């Protein structure tokens, strides 16, 4: 039996997870400012009065000492935009399907932008140097009006800049840097570096060169014929061929998010990996299931690739059924992969 002391020790250990106070207070300031702005904009729209010039004032009403608060942009029409189709930085109008990208894969000034993950609210792309495998930054493009965390700025005093004529902010801290801008009214995009900070002009150049196109679906290298009852995808991560972490994963949820499952395909066989000990078979292939703090995970060796399924609630027997019902495209040729809409049954 466990004791009360065990419980207390566990809770005490969890204290280490407490977020940074300054980050949270800065984030709170931004949430407050955004809501104030939203209310102001709503009132303005109702009155058909343009109040963009007044918004920064409203946004700063709770922004701490002078100069400490994050400047909040107005929401007027982005300067410099024209009616031409899909200019750089402009998202095509119309709804985006939940698991489709609008970020255009492209090469820009020595960098490659490759979409990697998508869900109904957010698209993520990796930014890598041409020919490199390591990601140097990540691009996040949020659906307009999405309510989400505001902790984008890395410092308390981000530098106001412009991206394609729209307000933007550059911030840097230690080895990281970030730029955020409004790609469309109410919709934010962020580029966060990972590894080392990028100069302001480099990030501005990258942000300005981000291009959008008509929606195209995320792709996965398999089709499922069986999915546990109630599960629907909520996020798709699309592997990048040649990247250091070539993996594709679809996350599913059921019961309002209380049950989750993910199915991933990883490059290579698990047989050479430390700790691999195939002690069962799934779909006639060597497999290993491992217990974790938050559920269990089963890895199945398909030779050139590994199928990895994790869940807290789906039993191993049902995971085996999922794996047995998978049919595969050519893992090495993303051109053969399936659109997510056809890969997942009963959506």
Binding string to another protein for residues 65 to 104, with x set by CB under 8 A, is what? ----------------------------------------
Per-residue string for binding with another protein, 310-339, x by CB under 8 A? xxx---------------------------
Q: Which position among 86, 297, 316, 318 is part of the footprint of another protein (CB under 8 A)?
A: 297
Closest approach of Cβ 195 to another protein, in Å? 19
Interface of this chain with another protein, residues 166 to 225, rule: CB under 8 A:
none
The stretch among 102-110, 118-126, 187-195, 326-334 that binds another protein (CB under 8 A) is 118-126
Place of tokens 């629907």: 232
State the Cα–Cα distance between residues 194 and 116, nearest whole angstrom: 15
Q: Tokens standing for 277?
A: 């000990």
Using CB under 8 A as the binding rule, whether residue 244 contacts another protein is answered as no
Q: Give 147-187 as a DSSP string.
A: ----TT-SSSSPEEEEETTEEEEEEEETTEEEEEEEEETTE
Enter the tokens of residue 149.
């965390």
**Binding status of residue 4 toward another protein by CB under 8 A:** yes
CB under 8 A, 24+ apart: contacts of 172-178:
172/197, 172/200, 177/203, 178/152, 178/153, 178/154, 178/203
| Beta strands in 196-284, from DSSP E residues, in sequence order | 212-217, 219-220, 222-224, 232-237, 247-254, 259-267, 280-282
218-237 positions binding another protein, by CB under 8 A:
234-235, 237
Q: Which of residues 12-31 bind another protein (CB under 8 A)?
A: 12-19, 21, 23-25, 27-28, 31
Is position 117 an interface residue for another protein (rule: CB under 8 A)? Answer: yes
| 46 touches another protein by CB under 8 A | no
Residue 71's CB is within 10 A of a number of other CB atoms, namely 16
Does position 1 bind another protein by CB under 8 A? yes
Shortest separation between residue 340's beta carbon and another protein, angstroms: 15
Selected range binding another protein among 100-108, 217-225, 286-294, 335-343, rule: CB under 8 A? 286-294
Nearer to another protein, 31 or 161 (CB): 31
- Shortest CB 194 distance to another protein, Å: 14
The HSE-up count of residue 87 (CA atoms within 13 Å, CB side) is 13
The DSSP H or E segment spanning 133 is: none
Closest approach of Cβ 323 to another protein, in Å? 13
Distances (CA, A) of 188 to 91, 298, 317: 11, 37, 43
308 scored as a contact of another protein (CB under 8 A): yes
Whole-angstrom Cα distance, residue 88 to residue 164?
8
CB of 4 to another protein, least distance (A): 5
């Amino acid at each position: 039996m466990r004791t009360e002391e065990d419980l207390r020790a566990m809770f005490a250990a969890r204290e280490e997870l407490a977020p940074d106070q300054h980050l949270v207070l800065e984030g709170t300031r931004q949430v407050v400012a955004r809501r104030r702005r939203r209310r102001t904009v709503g009132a303005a729209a109702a009155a058909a009065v343009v109040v963009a010039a007044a918004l920064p004032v409203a946004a700063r009403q709770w922004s701490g000492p002078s100069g400490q608060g994050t400047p909040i942009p107005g929401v007027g029409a982005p300067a410099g935009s024209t009616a031409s189709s899909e200019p750089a930085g402009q998202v095509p109008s119309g709804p985006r399907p939940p698991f489709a990208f609008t970020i255009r894969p492209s090469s820009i000034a020595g960098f490659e932008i490759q979409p990697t993950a998508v869900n109904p609210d957010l698209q993520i792309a990796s930014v890598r140097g041409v020919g490199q495998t390591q990601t140097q930054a990540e691009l996040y493009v949020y659906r307009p009006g999405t309510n989400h965390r505001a902790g984008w700025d890395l410092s308390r005093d981000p530098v106001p800049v412009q991206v394609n004529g729209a307000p933007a902010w550059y911030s840097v801290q230690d080895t990281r840097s970030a730029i955020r801008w409004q790609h469309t009214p109410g919709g934010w995009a962020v580029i966060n570096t990972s590894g080392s900070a990028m100069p302001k002009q480099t990030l501005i150049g990258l942000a300005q060169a981000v291009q959008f196109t008509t929606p195209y679906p995320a792709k996965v290298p398999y089709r499922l014929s069986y999915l546990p009852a109630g599960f629907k995808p909520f996020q798709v991560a699309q592997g990048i061929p040649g990247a250091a972490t070539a993996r594709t994963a679809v996350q599913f949820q059921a019961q309002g998010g209380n049950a989750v499952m993910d199915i991933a395909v990883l490059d290579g066989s698990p047989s050479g990996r430390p700790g691999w000990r195939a002690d069962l078979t799934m779909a006639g292939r060597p497999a290993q299931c491992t217990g974790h703090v938050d559920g269990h995970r089963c890895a199945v060796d398909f030779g050139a690739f590994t199928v990895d399924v994790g869940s807290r609630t789906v039993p191993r027997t049902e995971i085996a059924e999922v794996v047995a019902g998978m049919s595969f495209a050519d893992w090495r040729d993303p051109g053969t992969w399936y659109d997510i809409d056809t890969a997942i049954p009963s959506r």
